[in-house]
Amino acid sequence: MSSQTSGIDPVGVARPADLDGSVFEEKPQPMSDEGDHQPPAKVTKAVTRPGDRIFSGLATGSGVFVVALIGLVAIFLILRAVPALSNDDENFFLYNGPWRTDDTAHMHFGVLDLFSVTVFVSVFALLLAMPVALGIAIYLTEYAPARVRGPLAYVIDLLAAVPSIVYGLWGIYVLAPAIAPVALWLNGNLGFIPLFADSPVNIAGGGNLFTGGIVLAVMILPIIAAVTREVFIQTPKGQIEAALALGATKWEVVRTTIIPFGTSGYISGSMLGLGRALGETIALMLILSGTSVAFGWSLFDSGSTFATHIASNASEFNNELEAGAYIAAGLVLFVLTFLVNSAARAVVGGKGRA
C-alpha cells in the first residue's frame, strides 16, 4: 500500500484523514528569495470628520476653561487681599484676637482661630461620618435585600439635597436639646481631657462645636456613602467568587476583597466630604454662637469658621480694604481646600500604583 492511500508520510508520520478516508494535503507556502521583499502594508489613517473636530475642541476647551477659572479666582483673591494685608498691624497667621478693621490704616486681623475652628469641626465631622458611611456602603452592596437596597440608597442620597439652612435649624432646635445630656455627661466625667474641657459657652445651650460637628457629619454622610457604594459595586465578581470558593464567609469576602478594592474610592469620597465640610456656612452660622474668647480645642467651645466669619460680616464691607481683610481669609480657605484635594489625589494615586 502506498503512502498516499494509507495516510502515512514517507517518514512514517500519520497525517489527518477526512471522514471519507481522504487525506488532507498540506500546501507548501511559497518561499520568497532573499531579494524578493514584500511591499510594506499601507497604514490606514483614521477618518476625521467635522463633528470629531468640534467635539475635540469642546472637550479641550472645557478643560482649559476650568483651569483658567480656578486661576482667575486665585488671582482675584490675591489682588484683593494684598492691600489689606499690607495694612495689617498683626501677624496674619498667628493673631487670634478680635478683628478690628474700621481703621483701614491700622487694621488688626488674623486667621489662627478661624483656621483652628474650621479644621477642628471639619475633622470631627469626618471622623463621625466615615465609619457610618462605610457601614452603609457595605450594607447596601452586600447585605441589603433587593427590595430594600434601592429605596434606602435613594433616601440616603436625598440627604444631600436638604438645604443647609434646614440642617442649621434642625441642629439648634432639635438636635442640640436632645444631645445636651450627653454633652453634660462628657464634660462632667471626662472634663479632665482637653477635648471635653469646660467652655465659656453654655454647654446645655448646644451652640458649640459638638452640635455643629454632628450636623456637619450628617451633611457629608451621603457624599461619602454614595462614592464608596459605587466603588464597592465595581469589585470584580471573579474575585468575590474565588474568595467564596475558598470557603470565605460573607464578612471575610468584604474584609479581604471588597474593602481593599474600594479603599481608594472610600478615601476619595471622604476627601470630597471634607472639602464640603470646610466650606459649610449657613448651617454652622446658625449653630455656632460667635465668641471673642480664644479657641481652646474643646468640643464645647464655640467660635467661627472661615466661611461663617466672612458671611456674618459681609454687611460691613464698606470699602475695598475692609473687604480685603475678609477676602484674605477666603484666600486661606481656598488654599486649604486645594491642599486637601491634592492630598486626596496623591493618596488615591499611591493606592492605584500599589
pLDDT of residue 289: 73
9 C-beta neighbours (distance < 10 Å), count = 12
- Give, for 181, the enclosing helix (H) or strand (E): helix 176-190
* pLDDT: which is higher, 127 or 346: 127
pLDDT of residue 146: 85
Which one-letter DSSP state was computed for residue 259? H
Window from 36-50, 152-166, 172-186, 269-283 with minimum mean pLDDT: 36-50
* Residue 24: pLDDT band with limits 50, 70, 90: very low
Rounded mean pLDDT, 315-322: 83
Rounded mean pLDDT, 192-205: 87
233 C-beta neighbours (distance < 10 Å), count = 14
Question: Would the pLDDT of 20 be above 70?
Answer: no
Domain extent listing, the chain: 54-351
- Residue 40 C-alpha cell reads as 510594506
Share of the chain above pLDDT 90, in %: 46
The pLDDT tens digits for 37-79 are: 566 666 566 667 788 889 888 999 999 999 999 999 999 999 9
SS3 for 184? helix
The pLDDT tens digits for 152-164 are: 989 988 888 899 9
Judge contact between 87 and 107, C-beta under 8 A. Answer: yes
The pLDDT tens digits for 323-338 are: 999 999 999 999 999 8
Closest C-alpha among 231, 235, 228 to residue 269: 228
* Residue 8: pLDDT band with limits 50, 70, 90: very low
- Phi/psi of residue 132, nearest 5 degrees: -65, -45
- C-alpha span between 342 and 304 (Å, rounded): 25
Can you name the CATH fold of 54-351?
A: MetI-like fold (1.10.3720)
Rounded mean pLDDT, 285-312: 85
Question: Would the pLDDT of 23 be above 80?
Answer: no
pLDDT of residue 70: 92
- Give, for 53, the enclosing helix (H) or strand (E): helix 50-86
Window from 29-38, 98-107, 212-221, 269-278 with minimum mean pLDDT: 29-38
Integer Rg of the chain from CA: 33
- C-alpha span between 117 and 115 (Å, rounded): 6
Rounded mean pLDDT, 248-266: 89
Q: What is the rounded average pLDDT for all residues in the chain?
A: 84
pTM of the model as a whole: 0.81
pLDDT of residue 6: 46
SS3 for 37? coil
Instruction: Work out the angle at residue 317's Cα, subtended by the Cα atoms of residues 313 and 322, and round it to the nearest 5 degrees.
Output: 105
- C-alpha span between 310 and 109 (Å, rounded): 12
The pLDDT tens digits for 95-129 are: 988 888 888 888 999 999 999 999 999 999 999 99
Question: Would the pLDDT of 286 be above 50?
Answer: yes
Judge contact between 195 and 300, C-beta under 8 A. Answer: no
Residue type, 296: G
pLDDT of residue 14: 47
- C-alpha span between 284 and 289 (Å, rounded): 9
SS3 for 21? coil
